[in-house]
Amino acid sequence: MTTIRALDPVAHDFAASVAGVAGQAAQADPWQPGSMSSDSYPALLERLEAIGWCELAVNAELAGVVGPAAYELGRTLAPLDTLDVLLGGALSVGGLSRYAGEGSTLAELNGARIVLSRAEELEPVAYVDAIGAARILRASVAGEADQPSIRRAAWMSANAGYLAGALAYGLELTLDHAKARFAFGRPLAALDTVQQQLAEVATATDGLRLVSLGRPDDAALAHATVAAAEGLAGCQQLTGAIGFTLEFPLQRALRRARSMRAWLEPIVYEEG
């Protein structure tokens, strides 16, 4: 697998800092079927800001740092508001917001602009992921984010990196399962068909990491959403019944990837 250090020492060092922060702040999944839950962790956002995470949204020279750092967030399935903060507010798409409360700043991507508004009335909705999803009932325009092109590029790289990290996390869980579970007198990992499926997921993970290193366009990010969701679904197949249980964290990674795909597709397809 491609290493961050081999690509950029600066990106490696910053990603290592993000990994340390994210690892310390990792939380249990609060989601239950039919719940209106949020895994937001303000202390994590504060720690990321303290090491310079938000600077990535306004400094184009740091474009190559974003993806590797976000990869580490994805490996811990960190809250997605860690990505959306790069836009300057809680993401708003199609009349819905995530990780927002009344009074929060909402950020909506509109072509080359990032339109900001103030959430005045929200209606929480049940969702398949713990992202604090809510219907926007009333909001007032607050202006536009500064340096929208840099912010949008950083946010897109961050999403690609996060998806790569989530896929890598799912692959690790699946590998551990395949090594421990036996079939026909030997570990699942020793079966040719299982090895082939695992290799395909590993290849997809490397591909997504490389996509995140630069400035992925709409088509690249659209591909990333599909590749991550399909790769994790393949991992779930390999783990069998346990992969579908709430006790096994693989289902959380798959729900997150599918959630990200649902929120990103209106952006990358309508604007691309």
Six-digit token string for 192: 């040719």
Planar angle of CA 187, 229, 105, nearest 5 degrees: 135
Higher confidence at residue 27 or residue 119? 119
Q: What is the mean pLDDT of the chain?
A: 92
pLDDT score at 7:
56
Task: Round to whole Å and give the CA distance between 59 and 147.
Answer: 9
Average pLDDT over every residue of 136-158: 96
User: Helix (H, G, I), strand (E, B), or coil: what is residue 141?
Assistant: strand
Alpha helices in the chain (DSSP H): 4-7, 9-24, 42-50, 63-75, 81-84, 148-180, 192-213, 218-239, 250-270
Q: Please state the pTM of the whole predicted model.
A: 0.93
Q: Average pLDDT in the 20-37 region?
A: 92
Name the band, by pLDDT with cuts 50, 70 and 90, for residue 186: confident
Q: Structure tokens of 83?
A: 């990505």
Span 217-239, pLDDT tens digits: 999 999 999 999 999 999 998 99
Q: Which residues pair with 139 in a beta bridge?
A: 119
- Residue 168's nearest CA partner among 114, 217, 113, 208 is 208
* For range 118-145, the mean pLDDT: 97
* Neighbouring-strand partners of residue 216: none
pLDDT at 257: 97
Domains and CATH numbers, the chain: 1-84+147-272 (1.20.140.10), 85-146 (no CATH)
What whole-number distance in Å separates Cα of residue 172 and Cα of residue 202? 10
DSSP lists the bridge partners of residue 38 as 131
Rounded to an integer, the average pLDDT of 93-101 is 97
Average pLDDT, integer, range 22-44: 93
CB 37 within 8 A of CB 30: yes
